[in-house]
Structure 1
């Protein structure tokens, strides 16, 4: 079947599976966990943790704080190309949420 016939979630699962099936020194995952059901997200998060151990470097771009805290060992908060914070996942996620709640970020 042509990919254009796949749902957004199915396309995301397929792209993630293809990327995850190969060995990488560095892997960039951009919002891959934003679509898909809970079961897919849980499997994908586990695979990301495994790839992080094997590859050493996985960049996960996400707005899902739980996924970030569950899969990352370091978080970098960038806004408009500027580094705002770099550190432990919980600390950076908490600071980001606090800034969002105060309206200090876009």
Structure 2
């Protein structure tokens, strides 16, 4: 009788493990579907943004485009200087700690 009871408990435990395994697989499938849906939406949005940007760049007069490129380059230079300044500040702070 005890052996039969032990086997019954093991079978119930196995059934529970199998049930949890199936639920886990269902959750993984739902997560995968949601991730795929969000990725497709994002790709669609980025594709539309890229198309809008290409259309905008195509409509800009060349001299205006050069001015915008120069302005972007200046912003990049300014940003680079800020990063360098931050690096110097951090170095000086480390020197002060020592």
TM-score range normalised by the length of the shorter chain:
under 0.3
| TM-score normalised by the chain length of structure 1 | 0.22
Larger helix proportion of the pair = 2
User: If the length of structure 2 is used for normalisation, what is the TM-score?
Assistant: 0.23
Q: Greater strand percent: which structure?
A: 1
Asked which structure has the greater RCO (Cα within 8 Å, sep 6+), the reply is 1
